[in-house]
Amino acid sequence: MSPATEEEFVQLRLDHHRGVRTGVAEAVYAPGKTPGQCAEAVHGLLHGPGTGPVILTRADREQAEATLSRNPGGMSVQTGPDTAVLTWRTSPARAERVPVLTAGTADLPTARECEAVLSAYGVRPDLVCDVGVAGLHRILAEADRLRDADLVLVAAGMEGALASVVAGMTDAPVIAIPTSPGYGASLEGVTALLAMHASCSPGITVVGIDNGFGAACAAVRILNLGARTRGTTETITGSGT
Amino acid sequence: MSPATEEEFVQLRLDHHRGVRTGVAEAVYAPGKTPGQCAEAVHGLLHGPGTGPVILTRADREQAEATLSRNPGGMSVQTGPDTAVLTWRTSPARAERVPVLTAGTADLPTARECEAVLSAYGVRPDLVCDVGVAGLHRILAEADRLRDADLVLVAAGMEGALASVVAGMTDAPVIAIPTSPGYGASLEGVTALLAMHASCSPGITVVGIDNGFGAACAAVRILNLGARTRGTTETITGSGT
Amino acid sequence: MSPATEEEFVQLRLDHHRGVRTGVAEAVYAPGKTPGQCAEAVHGLLHGPGTGPVILTRADREQAEATLSRNPGGMSVQTGPDTAVLTWRTSPARAERVPVLTAGTADLPTARECEAVLSAYGVRPDLVCDVGVAGLHRILAEADRLRDADLVLVAAGMEGALASVVAGMTDAPVIAIPTSPGYGASLEGVTALLAMHASCSPGITVVGIDNGFGAACAAVRILNLGARTRGTTETITGSGT
Amino acid sequence: MSPATEEEFVQLRLDHHRGVRTGVAEAVYAPGKTPGQCAEAVHGLLHGPGTGPVILTRADREQAEATLSRNPGGMSVQTGPDTAVLTWRTSPARAERVPVLTAGTADLPTARECEAVLSAYGVRPDLVCDVGVAGLHRILAEADRLRDADLVLVAAGMEGALASVVAGMTDAPVIAIPTSPGYGASLEGVTALLAMHASCSPGITVVGIDNGFGAACAAVRILNLGARTRGTTETITGSGT
Amino acid sequence: MSPATEEEFVQLRLDHHRGVRTGVAEAVYAPGKTPGQCAEAVHGLLHGPGTGPVILTRADREQAEATLSRNPGGMSVQTGPDTAVLTWRTSPARAERVPVLTAGTADLPTARECEAVLSAYGVRPDLVCDVGVAGLHRILAEADRLRDADLVLVAAGMEGALASVVAGMTDAPVIAIPTSPGYGASLEGVTALLAMHASCSPGITVVGIDNGFGAACAAVRILNLGARTRGTTETITGSGT
Amino acid sequence: MSPATEEEFVQLRLDHHRGVRTGVAEAVYAPGKTPGQCAEAVHGLLHGPGTGPVILTRADREQAEATLSRNPGGMSVQTGPDTAVLTWRTSPARAERVPVLTAGTADLPTARECEAVLSAYGVRPDLVCDVGVAGLHRILAEADRLRDADLVLVAAGMEGALASVVAGMTDAPVIAIPTSPGYGASLEGVTALLAMHASCSPGITVVGIDNGFGAACAAVRILNLGARTRGTTETITGSGT
Amino acid sequence: MSPATEEEFVQLRLDHHRGVRTGVAEAVYAPGKTPGQCAEAVHGLLHGPGTGPVILTRADREQAEATLSRNPGGMSVQTGPDTAVLTWRTSPARAERVPVLTAGTADLPTARECEAVLSAYGVRPDLVCDVGVAGLHRILAEADRLRDADLVLVAAGMEGALASVVAGMTDAPVIAIPTSPGYGASLEGVTALLAMHASCSPGITVVGIDNGFGAACAAVRILNLGARTRGTTETITGSGT
Amino acid sequence: MSPATEEEFVQLRLDHHRGVRTGVAEAVYAPGKTPGQCAEAVHGLLHGPGTGPVILTRADREQAEATLSRNPGGMSVQTGPDTAVLTWRTSPARAERVPVLTAGTADLPTARECEAVLSAYGVRPDLVCDVGVAGLHRILAEADRLRDADLVLVAAGMEGALASVVAGMTDAPVIAIPTSPGYGASLEGVTALLAMHASCSPGITVVGIDNGFGAACAAVRILNLGARTRGTTETITGSGT
C-alpha cells in the first residue's frame, strides 16, 4: 500500500440521486474536512445529475472561501462568529408560514443554520428570537403567529421548556431542536433533548442536539407533503431545476 | 386538613379545549390511576365542550373494563398481552397512506398503540411488521409503499437502524419511535433513541421511547397540515362533531 | 458476637434536639423498616425532650397501623394508593399563602406528602393541581395567586417546565420538586431534576426527586425566616409545645 | 434572506419588566456574546422602563471593558483570574446576616459571583472561606454565626458534604451550590450536585453547578419574603429607584 | 451434549489455597445459587486442604437452612429481614479496636455483613450506629473512640458525607462503604460512591456499593499487616487451624 | 529518591515474545509519549528477539520523524491530517479478501489505521468508502464483494447502522468499529458502540471506539485461524522472519 | 380497525433464507412472546425452505413445552434455573477446539447458552468453568488448552479481567462476552463491557451483555471461514441438509 | 463591597493541626491557584505549628519555581512532562516494602505522584513498571516481591485488571488507583474505577481517578498502624520533628 495523499481523501462517493429519492439533496458537513475536500465535494454535487439545492454546513472562514472560490454563485449565511452555511442552486420562494423560535440568544446559531437551509429550499421562515418561558408574555405575544403557522420550529437549550409551551398553543407540527449552549446541568444539550422527549405536550417531534440542518430537512419533508396533497405534482426538489 | 379520600384524587383539571387549540384532544394515561379515576376522567372529557376523539392509553384489563362500563360505546384495541387503548368519538375515515413499520415482533405493542390512536383520528395506517435491516430484502420489498407514502412511522428498538434506512428510501416525513424491548446494550430504548438522533439520514424526527401515542399525535398534526393546505377548511378534530 | 435479633435493629440513635437546632424535628422514613421499628422510633421521639411535630413518611398500611396503634393521636394523610404520612403533635395554624402546584395527576403523591408535612408545622398550603404548561391557560388563571404568594412549591415530572414558567410569574421563593412518574426519556425524574437546574428562570431552588418531605422542610426554614423577621421571637417548632 | 451581520445578533428581546414581576431584574450572561453584544444588552436594560439592578455575569476582560466604556458607573468585582461580575444601579444596603461559605479555595469564584450579585441587591454577605469538613473544627468555630444567620449559602465541590453539616447546625434556609472544580470522580460538579440532593439533612435546596448567580437570585426572593412579612411595603427591587 | 442437570451446576472449581495466598479464604456468594449449590460449595471448602474461616454471604432463609443442615456447626448472623451471613471455623478473638460506623438505620445490613465477616476472622468490631452528619454532635461524641481506633469502617449511603468527616478525626486507616438505600438522587449508591472518591479528606479508600464483605476482607489484610509487623509469625488465617 | 529525568521515563518493560504468544507483536501507542520515547521503544522491539512486524500508532509529525530517523526503513501511512501509522518488518503479502467499509468520510482515519496495521501483517484490505445506509444502493452495489469476503470490517460512527446491514449480507465474520466523529447525540462514539452491541443481526463482534488497530489485530487472529486450518504450519507472525 | 386477536400477533415475517445468506439461521428469541407464538415461529422455520439449525433461545418452562409439543424432535438444554435453549435440525459434529471459559459460577447461564447454540452447529465446545483471575493458577493450568485452541470464548462479569489475561495467552481469536450478574459497581454488565473494550490486550472482540447466542453466531462465522479456507466447499449451514 | 484583589484570594484558612489529627499534613493542590497563592500557602504551613511534611502537588513549572523561590529547601520530583510534586520537611527513611505497580507507561505520572508523597513520609517504594496482564509473565516474575510486600499500590487504567490479579497473589493490603489515560471506552478512568470496584478479588480498596496523592495518604495511615502496633509510640508524622 502506498502512503495516502491528501487527494485520496477527496474521493467521496457522492449520492447524486438522493434529492429525487428523499426530497433532500446530499449536503456536505464541513467539520473535519480540509478546505479542498469541501470545495471538491460541493463541485461534484453541482456537476452531477442532481438538480436540487447543494449545501455546505458549519464551514469556517477558510473552508467557506475555498469552496466559494471553486464554486462561484453560492450564498453564504453567517450562523455564528466563525461559522457559515453556504448554499447553491436554491429553490424559488414558497408561501408557507414557518416561524423559527429561539428561547434565548445562545440558540441563535442553531436557528440561523435551520433558517439558511430552509431558505435554500425556498421556505422563508420568520425568525422569532428570545421568547423563552421565563418571561411568558413574550411567547404569548406570538399567539396569533403560532395559531396561523403551517409548521413551527423551536430551538431551545437549558431546560427546553419552550417546546412544551408552544406545542400547547398551535395545531401545527412542532419540531423541537435541543441546543447545547448552557452550563452545568445543561449537560451540553442532553438535558434539553431529554426534556423535549419527556414533554407533557403530545405531538412534538425532536431532532438531534444543535441539528438545525436536520430540523430543516424534516421541515422540508413535511411541507412537501402539504404541497403534494394540494394536487400539484411538482415537489420542492423538482422545482429547483 | 382532613385526610384525603379516593374521590379527591379524581378531581382532575380537564383541558376541554385542547382539541381546538392543538388538533389533539387530551388523552388519559392510565398507569398509576385507579380504575375509577380512569372512568371519571374519560367521562369528564366526553361530557365537556370538546367534540374530538377521547382516548385512554395503556389501560390494563381492570381499568379498561371500569372505563368502558362507565362510558359505553368505546372501542378497545389490544396493544399487548395485558394492555389496551380505548377510544371514543372516533373521526370518519381519511385517505392518507401512512405505513407504520416495525423492525421486529417486540416493537408490535408500540406500533399497535400508534395505530389505535391514528384510527381514532380517522387515519388508517398500514401495519408492516418485521422488516428489520438484518434481512434487507424485507424492507426493499416495501420500496413502492415507502415511495408512495404520505408519512412513515418506524418503531424500532435495539440499534434502531431501520429508521435510517427508511429515511433514505422516501421523501415523506419520517417519525421514528425508539422502543424499549431488548436487553443488555439496548439500555431500555436509550440506545435506539440516541441512534435515531445520530442518524446519517437527514430529516428524521424522533419521539420518546415507546411513545406510540405521541408519534400518532405528531402524525395527526402533520396530516392536518396536508389537509389544510388542500384548501379544505375542516381539520381532523373538527370532523369528529 | 451473638446473632442479631429484631429488637436490636430498633435501637436507633434518635436526635431529639434536632428541632431546636434546625427548626425541623427528626422524621422517620418508613421504607425498609419493620412496622415495629416504625412504631418504636416514633414513640422514642414523642417521649424524648423534643416538643415539635413528629412525622412518619411513606408508611404502608401495615406500618401505619402498627405505629398509630402504639402512638395514638396521630393524624394520617393518604398520599398514594398504599402510602400515607402520619403526624403527631402538629403546630397551630399559620397564615402564610403557600400554593403547592402540580403539573399533572402523577405529581399528586409528592404534592400530598409535601402538604401533609407542611400541615404538621401549621402551614396550610393551597393544592393547585393539573396546571402543566401544555395548556397554558391553566397556570395563567392562577396568576393572582402566584403574585400574592409568600412561597410557591412546584411538583412536576416529565420535562419539569412548570417550574420555569412559575418562577417568571412571581417574586416569591420557588422550590421545585422533580417527580419520578413518567416513562422512557423521563429517566425516573432525572430529566426533570436536570431541567429544573438548567432553568432559564433565575432564582429557582430544587430538592431531590419525589422529595415532598424535603421541600416542606425547606419551606418551613424559609417561612421561619419570615416569622423571625416580623419581630416575633417564637419559631415554628417552638410553637408546638 | 440577506446574510446576517453582527449587528443583527444584538437585537435581543429584553425583558424590562422582569424585575417587577420576579423581584430579580434580567441579567446578561456574557459567555458566547461579543463585547459589543454585552455592551448593548446592558445599555438596553439601563435605559428601559426597569429601575432595579442591572448585572453582567462571567465577563472576560474584553467584555468588561467594552461594557463599562459604553455604560459608565458600573462596579466590577473580580470573581476569578479572568472573570468579573459587573453591576449597575445597585440597591441600598440591607441588614440581613447572610454567610456565604466555601469548602475550599476552588469554590471561591462561585462564592464571589454570588456575593457580587447579592451586593447589587443591597445584601452584604459574610464570605467565610475554607471551612470544609475534613477539618471539622473550622466549621464548628462558625457555629454562632450559623445559628444567628438569616440565610446560609454553601458553595462546595468534590463530595459537597459541607451542605449537609451546615444544615444540621442552623434553622435558617440553606441554599447549596455545587461547584465544578475537582478532578476524576468529581465529574465536574455532578457528584456534588447529586450528593447535595441526596443529603441526609432535611431542608436543603440546591441550585445548578457553579450557579452563584442563581443562588443569589433565590436568596433575594427569600429575603424579600422576610422584608415583606415585616410589614414594610417596599421590596428589594422597589428600593432601587 | 446431553442436557444439563442441576447437579452439574454444582461442580464449582474451588480455590482451597486462597487463604494461604491472600489471607482471606474463598467465600460463597449465595444469590443466584440453589440451596443445594450453597450447601455443596461450603462443604467442599470445609473438607478441602484449607484451614481458615469459611463464609456464606447474603443467604436467604432457604439457602441458610440447607447449608447449615449439610454443614453443622456454623454460626448464623442475621444481616437483614431475610438475609444472613453464615460462618464456619472462625478464628480466635483478637484485640484490635475497629469501629464500624453507620450514618443511618438503612446502612445497618451492610455494617452487619461487615461485622459478621470480621468476627469470622476473630476481629470484634464496635458497631456504632446512626452517627450521620445531619446531627454532628453524634459523631463528635465518638471522637475518643475514633482517635484510639486501629482501623475505622464507615457505611454510609445518600451523600456519604460521614466518611469525609471521620477521616478528618482520626489517623487510622478509613475504609468507606457506600450503601444503596436511599431514593432519587442517591442513584442506588452511586452518589455515595462518587462522593467518597471525591472526598476532600485525604487517605480514604473505598470498596464497592453495599460490599460489607469486601470491606471486611480489606480490613483483615490491613490488620494482618499490623500483626505481622509486631513480630509474631502467625497470621490471621493461620490462627484458625 | 532522586528527581526523575526524562531518560528514566523511557525504561519501558518491552514484551518481546508477545508475537509468538499471541500472533500480534507489541505495538507502541504514541500519544502521551515524547518523540524520544517513541523512537526508543520501537528501537527496542526491532533489536530484541521478536521477528514479526513492529508498529507505531497515532504518531504526530514530530513523533514520526524522530522514530523514523532513529529506525530507518519504516513505512509511514497517513491516517489523518496530522496522524500516521508507522510499520517496520512487514510480512509478505497474503491472499485473503478483506473489505474495510466506511459509512462516511469521517470514518476514514479509523479505517486507514486498520488498513495500515493489516498491511503490516501482509493482508491487503479493500477500502470501500462512503457506503452508509442513508443511500442504500451504495452498499447493495457491494453485495458480491461482501458475499465473497473472508472477513469484513465496518467502521461507522453516528448511529452505526451499517454493521447491522452488512452482517445480513454475508456469512463472513464481521468486526464492527464504532467511530467517534459526529456531534450531539453521537456521544463521541458511545452511541455507535451501543447500537452495534444491540444489533439485530447476530454474529457481529465489536471493538473499542476508533480502535482500528485493535480491529486489525482481531482480524489477524481470525485469518491466522484460516491459515492454520488450511494445513500450512506457518502462521502470519512466523512468515515475517 | 377490528380489535387485535392473539393469532394476529403470530404472523411473523420469517426470514427463511437467512441461513444461506449469513451462515446463521434465524433464531427465535422467546422473552415477550406467548408459548403459542414461540411454537408457531419455530414451526414456520422448520417447514420453510431453510435447511440449517432452528433455535429457540431463553425459553421458560411453558414456552419450551408448548414449542416442543408442536415441534417434536427438538433438543432442550437447560441454561439456568428456569431457562432453556431448544434446537432442532442440528448439524453433524465438527472437530475444532473451542474452549468456552467462565470466570465464575454466575457466568454459567451465558456460557451454557453459547454452548447450546454452538452444539446446534456441530461445534463441541469445552466448557471450562471458574477460572477467574483472583486465583491465577486456575487459568495458568489451562495454558496448553488455550495455546492449542482454534477459537476461545470468555464469559465474565464483574470487572471482566479474564478476557485480557486469556488474550495474552493465545493467538486464537478471542470473543469476550460480558455478563450481567454481580452487584453495585458491576452496573448489570456495563462495567465488564466497558472493561473488555478498554482491554490492554489487542485483538479481543466483544459481543453484547449476556449474549451467549450472539457470541456463538460470531464463532460460527469465524469457524466457517476456517472450514472454507481448508478447500472444502461445504459450509456449516449447508451440512445440515 | 470593594473589588477583590489578588492578595485577597491568598487568605486561605490553613489547617495546621491536621498532621496531628490525621497522620497526614495538609497538602496544597496547585491547579487553579496562582504561583503566588501556591508560594504563600506552603509558606504558611511551613511556619505554622505543624511539624510534618509539607507537600505541593501537580505544580506546573511556574508554580514550582515561585514556590521553591519563596520556600527554599524543597525537593522537586517530576511526575510528568510539565508537572511536579514538591516536598519540604520530609521524614526519615522507613523500612517497609511497598511496591508501586503500573500496568503501562501511561500510568507512570500517577505512580510517580504516589511515590513522591510516600517519600516525603519516609517510605521508599519500589516502582515496578509495565506489568500489565496482557503479558502475564511480567507480573508472575514479581510473585516473590508481592508475597513479601507490606502493602501494594496498583496504578492501572483502561480495564484496570492488574489490581484483581495482584490481589490474588498477596495477602498484603492492596490499594488500587484507576488512571485516566486511555481512549474511547476507557471513559477517562471511569471504566477502571468501576472495574476495580467490581473486582472478583476480595479485599481491594480503591481511591479516586489519578489520585496518587490520596493513595499515598491511605498507605501512610495503614503503615502507621503497623508502626503503632509494633509497640513504638512514635508515629510517622511525629518522626518528622
Count of CB contacts below 8 A, G vs H? 125
Q: Do G136 and H168 touch (CB under 8 A)?
A: yes
CATH of region A91-241:
3.40.50.1970
Q: Do C130 and B4 touch (CB under 8 A)?
A: no
Q: Do F171 and G198 touch (CB under 8 A)?
A: no
Q: Which residues have C-beta within 8 Å of that of residue H95, sequence separation ≥ 6? A: none
Contact D217, C203 (CB under 8 A): yes
Q: Return the pLDDT at H4.
A: 38
**pLDDT tens-place string over residues H150-163:** 999 999 998 889 99
Percent of chain G scoring above 90 in pLDDT: 61
Inter-helix orientation angle A108-120/A212-229, to 10°: 40
> Chain G closest CA to E109's CA: distance in Å?
15
List the single best residue of D94, D119, D137, D183 to mutate versus H (max H Cβ within 10 A). D183
Q: Return the pLDDT at B238.
A: 28
Neighbour-count burial for G91-107, b at 16+ CB within 10 Å, e otherwise: beebebbbbbbbbbbbb
Percent of chain C scoring above 70 in pLDDT: 83
**pLDDT tens-place string over residues A161-198:** 899 999 999 999 999 999 998 777 888 899 999 999 98
Q: Return the pLDDT at F2.
A: 36
Instruction: Please report, as a single letter, which amino acid is at residue C155.
Output: A
Asked if C221 is an interface residue toward chain E (Cβ–Cβ < 8 A), one would say: no
In angstroms, rounded to a whole number, what is the distance separating the alpha carbons of residues F108 and F113? Answer: 9
Q: Do E134 and C18 touch (CB under 8 A)?
A: yes
Sign for the pseudo-dihedral over CA of E4, E7, E9, E15:
negative
Residue H15 has pLDDT above 90, yes or no: no
Neighbours, chain G (3 or more CB pairs < 8 A): B, E, F, H
Q: Which residues have C-beta within 8 Å of that of residue D69, sequence separation ≥ 6? A: D39
List the single best residue of G123, G179, G205, G206 to mutate versus F (max F Cβ within 10 A). G205
Task: Report the 10 Å Cβ neighbour count for A55.
Answer: 28
In terms of pLDDT, which residue wins out, G116 or A24?
Answer: G116
The alpha carbon torsion through D80, D84, D89, D93 (nearest 10 deg) reads: 10
In angstroms, rounded to a whole number, what is the distance separating the alpha carbons of residues B192 and F239? Answer: 44
Residue E65 has pLDDT above 70, yes or no: yes
Q: Which residues have C-beta within 8 Å of that of residue C204, sequence separation ≥ 6? A: C163, C164, C167, C174, C175, C176, C196, D207, D214, D218
Q: Return the pLDDT at A23.
A: 60
Q: How far is CA H24 from CA E199, E203, G135, H68, in A?
A: 15, 8, 35, 21
Q: Return the pLDDT at C33.
A: 84
Asked if B131 is an interface residue toward chain F (Cβ–Cβ < 8 A), one would say: no
Instruction: Choose the closest CB to A151 out of B201, B213, B225.
Output: B225
Q: Return the pLDDT at D228.
A: 65
3-state secondary structure of D156: strand
For residue H12, the cross-strand partners are none
Q: Do G164 and H159 touch (CB under 8 A)?
A: yes
Question: Does an interface of 3+ CB pairs under 8 Å exist between F and C?
Answer: no
Domain ranges across chain A: 1-89, 91-241
Q: Do E129 and C11 touch (CB under 8 A)?
A: yes
What nine digits make up the cell of F32? Answer: 502521551
Q: Do D136 and E201 touch (CB under 8 A)?
A: no
Residue C76 has pLDDT above 70, yes or no: yes
User: Measured between beta carbons, which residues in chain F are less than 8 angstroms from residue A13?
Assistant: 129-131, 138
Q: Return the pLDDT at C35.
A: 94
Instruction: Give, for E198, the enclosing helix (H) or strand (E).
Output: none
Contact G53, G75 (CB under 8 A): no
Q: Average pLDDT in the D129-147 region?
A: 93
Question: Does an interface of 3+ CB pairs under 8 Å exist between G and H?
Answer: yes
> Chain A closest CA to D147's CA: distance in Å?
31
Residue G241 has pLDDT above 50, yes or no: no
What nine digits make up the cell of A40? Answer: 471538491
In angstroms, rounded to a whole number, what is the distance separating the alpha carbons of residues B27 and B42? Answer: 8
Please identify which residue in the block is written with the cell numbers 437546574: C197
Mean pLDDT by 10 residues, chain F (241 residues): 38 56 74 89 89 93 97 93 92 95 91 96 95 91 95 92 94 95 81 90 92 95 76 34 23
In angstroms, rounded to a whole number, what is the distance separating the alpha carbons of residues D58 and E197? Answer: 30
Neighbour-count burial for D82-107, b at 16+ CB within 10 Å, e otherwise: ebbbbbbbbbeebebbbbbbbbbbbb
Question: Does an interface of 3+ CB pairs under 8 Å exist between E and C?
Answer: yes
User: Measured between beta carbons, which residues in chain G are less than 8 angstroms from residue E3?
Assistant: 75-78
User: Measured between beta carbons, which residues in chain C are less than 8 angstroms from residue E129?
Assistant: 11-13
Q: Return the pLDDT at A20.
A: 57
Q: Do H135 and F37 touch (CB under 8 A)?
A: no
Q: Average pLDDT in the H38-59 region?
A: 91
Asked if A127 is an interface residue toward chain D (Cβ–Cβ < 8 A), one would say: no
In angstroms, rounded to a whole number, what is the distance separating the alpha carbons of residues H174 and H154? Answer: 7
Q: Which of residues 52-71 of A touch B (CB under 8 A)?
A: none
Q: Return the pLDDT at E228.
A: 65
Q: Return the pLDDT at C234.
A: 36
Q: Average pLDDT in the H76-84 region?
A: 89
Q: Return the pLDDT at D24.
A: 66
In angstroms, rounded to a whole number, what is the distance separating the alpha carbons of residues A148 and B231? Answer: 14
Question: Does an interface of 3+ CB pairs under 8 Å exist between F and B?
Answer: yes
Q: Return the pLDDT at H159.
A: 81
CA G179 vs. chain centroid, Å, equals: 13
Q: Average pLDDT in the B124-128 region?
A: 96
**Mean pLDDT lowest among A14-28, D78-92, F126-140:** A14-28
**pLDDT tens-place string over residues C100-128:** 999 988 899 999 999 999 999 999 999 99
Please report which confidence band the pLDDT of residue H232 belongs to, taking 50, 70 and 90 as the band edges: very low
For residue A152, the cross-strand partners are A174
Q: Which of E213, E237, E238, E225 is nearest to E100 (CA)?
A: E213
User: Measured between beta carbons, which residues in chain B are less than 8 angstroms from residue G189?
Assistant: 184
Please report which confidence band the pLDDT of residue E225 belongs to, taking 50, 70 and 90 as the band edges: confident
List the single best residue of D2, D10, D13, D28 to mutate versus A (max A Cβ within 10 A). D13
Residue D39 has pLDDT above 90, yes or no: yes
Neighbour-count burial for H81-109, b at 16+ CB within 10 Å, e otherwise: eebbbbbbbbbeebebbbbbbbbbbbbbb
Neighbours, chain D (3 or more CB pairs < 8 A): A, C, E, H
Q: Which of residues 135-174 of G touch F (CB under 8 A)?
A: 150-151, 167-174
Q: Do F175 and G205 touch (CB under 8 A)?
A: yes
Q: Which of H108, A161, E160 is nearest to C198 (CA)?
A: A161
Q: Which of C121-130, G14-23, H78-87 has the highest mean pLDDT?
A: C121-130
Instruction: Choose the closest CB to H184 out of F21, F31, F189.
Output: F189
Q: Average pLDDT in the B56-60 region?
A: 95
**3-state secondary structure string across F159-180:** CCHHHHHHHCCCCCCEEEEECC
Q: Average pLDDT in the B41-58 region?
A: 90
Q: Scanning every residue of chain E, which has its alpha carbon at the shortest distance from the alpha carbon of G128?
A: E13
Task: Name the region of B221 (left: φ>0; alpha: ψ -120 to 50; beta: rest).
Answer: alpha
In terms of pLDDT, which residue wins out, A97 or G241?
Answer: A97
List the single best residue of H105, H108, H140 to mutate versus F (max F Cβ within 10 A). H105
Instruction: Choose the closest CB to E184 out of C4, C31, C209.
Output: C209
Distance separating the N- and C-terminal Cα atoms of chain G: 43
Q: Average pLDDT in the G226-235 region?
A: 50
Q: Scanning every residue of chain D, which has its alpha carbon at the shortest distance from the alpha carbon of E204?
A: D134
Q: Average pLDDT in the E206-221 region?
A: 95
Q: Which residues have C-beta within 8 Å of that of residue D49, sequence separation ≥ 6? A: D16, D17
Count of CB contacts below 8 A, B vs C? 53
Q: Average pLDDT in the D84-107 region?
A: 94
In angstroms, rounded to a whole number, what is the distance separating the alpha carbons of residues H104 and H100? Answer: 12
Task: Provide the edge-to-edge strand list for the sheet that holds D174-178.
Answer: C126-128, C99-102, C152-156, C174-178, C204-206, D204-206, D174-178, D152-156, D99-102, D126-128
What nine digits make up the cell of E100? Answer: 464500624
Q: Scanning every residue of chain F, which has its alpha carbon at the shortest distance from the alpha carbon of G215?
A: F203
Asked if B120 is an interface residue toward chain A (Cβ–Cβ < 8 A), one would say: no
Please report which confidence band the pLDDT of residue C216 belongs to, taking 50, 70 and 90 as the band edges: very high
Contact D220, D24 (CB under 8 A): yes
Q: Average pLDDT in the E1-30 region?
A: 56
What nine digits make up the cell of B120? Answer: 381514532
What nine digits make up the cell of G86? Answer: 431448544
Q: Do B197 and A206 touch (CB under 8 A)?
A: yes
Instruction: Choose the closest CB to F199 out of B135, B159, B167.
Output: B159
Instruction: Give, for D153, the enclosing helix (H) or strand (E).
Output: strand D152-156
Q: Scanning every residue of chain H, which has its alpha carbon at the shortest distance from the alpha carbon of E175?
A: H205
Q: What share of chain H is helix, strand, coil (3-state, %, to 5)?
A: 40, 15, 40
Q: Do B136 and F184 touch (CB under 8 A)?
A: no
User: Measured between beta carbons, which residues in chain D are less than 8 angstroms from residue E187?
Assistant: 194, 198
In angstroms, rounded to a whole number, what is the distance separating the alpha carbons of residues D192 and H182? Answer: 25
**3-state secondary structure string across chain A:** CCCCCHHHHHCCCCCCCHHHHHCCCCCEECCCCCHHHHHHHHHHHHCCCCCCCEEEEEECHHHHHHHHHHCCCCEEEEEECCEEEEEECCCCCCCCCCEEEECCHHHHHHHHHHHHHHHHCCCCCEEECCCCCCCHHHHHCCHHHHHHCCCEEEEECCCCHHHHHHHCCCCCCEEEEECCCCCHHHHHHHHHHHHHHCCCCCCEEECCCCCHHHHHHHHHHHHHHHHHHCCCCCCCCHHHC
Q: Scanning every residue of chain E, which has its alpha carbon at the shortest distance from the alpha carbon of C180?
A: E184
Q: Phi and psi (nearest 5°) for F52?
A: -85, -175
**pLDDT tens-place string over residues E105-163:** 889 999 999 999 999 999 999 999 999 998 899 999 999 999 999 999 999 998 888 99
Q: Return the pLDDT at E181.
A: 83
Q: What is the largest CA-CA distance in chain H?
A: 65
> Chain H closest CA to E87's CA: distance in Å?
17
In angstroms, rounded to a whole number, what is the distance separating the alpha carbons of residues E88 and E46? Answer: 8
Q: Do E22 and H167 touch (CB under 8 A)?
A: yes
Asked if A188 is an interface residue toward chain D (Cβ–Cβ < 8 A), one would say: no
Q: Do B168 and A24 touch (CB under 8 A)?
A: no
Burial class (CB in 10 A: 0-12, 13-18, 19+), H144: exposed
Q: Do H218 and E197 touch (CB under 8 A)?
A: no
Q: Which segments of B11-72 does DSSP mark as H helices, in order?
A: 18-22, 35-46, 61-70
Q: Which of A213-222, C179-188, C195-204, E17-26 has the highest mean pLDDT?
A: A213-222
Please report which confidence band the pLDDT of residue A16 belongs to, taking 50, 70 and 90 as the band edges: low
Strands F75-80 and A99-102: unpaired
Asked if E186 is an interface residue toward chain G (Cβ–Cβ < 8 A), one would say: no
In angstroms, rounded to a whole number, what is the distance separating the alpha carbons of residues A12 and A37? Answer: 9
In angstroms, rounded to a whole number, what is the distance separating the alpha carbons of residues B213 and B77? Answer: 13
Q: Return the pLDDT at E160.
A: 85
Neighbours, chain F (3 or more CB pairs < 8 A): A, B, G, H
